[in-house]
Amino acid sequence: MAVHYYEFLDAGMAVDLASIAGGPIPIEPMYLAGGWGASWDLGTSEALGKKLSEAWAKGIPLGSVCHGALGFLKAVDESGERLVKGRHMTAVTDKQVRELGIEITPMHPETELRKAGALFESSTAFKDIFADHVVTDGLLVTGQNQNAGAEVAQRLMMLHSSKAGEK
């Protein structure tokens, strides 16, 4: 989270952090930003799905990195279809989950996005934790893992700038 957070701040953007449950955001005790927690709540949050659906309807560029793509599972487009259906996306892969030994998480982004109809893309490397892939589909930008954070932020800012220029 830190990489894209500071990309946005350095560009002069205001950044809000929010918690699915509301209130203080729990911090991992070793203070390492990690996406595993998203497996427990982002993909099942009706509130997040509603907010993302509202933002999408307003033409606001949306993005995610790694497990964060699970947050799009409850979002819908203007016609009521799942937002991810038929869209090119990426997130942490099932192979990466296995390599990292985090199969205990309840939701795996590649599996869930494919089930929801996303056109899932990814890259591979000698160890997939080093693979880096970013996909832009209209106003939706997704990154395969933490290595994609800066590029996702840059692409989102470019989309935001082009949308602002249209006004």
Mind listing the domains of the chain with CATH numbers? 2-166 (3.40.50.880)
* Angle, vertex CA 50, rays to CA 75 and CA 156, nearest 5: 65
Tokens of 156: 């989102």
Check: CB of residue 104 under 8 Å from CB of residue 93: no
Asked whether residue 34 carries a pLDDT value surpassing 50, the answer given is no
Rg of the chain over all Cα atoms, to the nearest angstrom: 15
Contacts for 29 with CB less than 8 Å, ≥ 6 apart: none
* Segment 127-146 mean pLDDT: 91
CA–CA separation, 42 and 39 (whole Å): 6
Asked whether residue 28 carries a pLDDT value surpassing 80, the answer given is no
Please state the pTM of the whole predicted model.
0.90
Percentage of the residues of the chain whose pLDDT score is greater than 70? 93
* Segment 23-37 mean pLDDT: 62
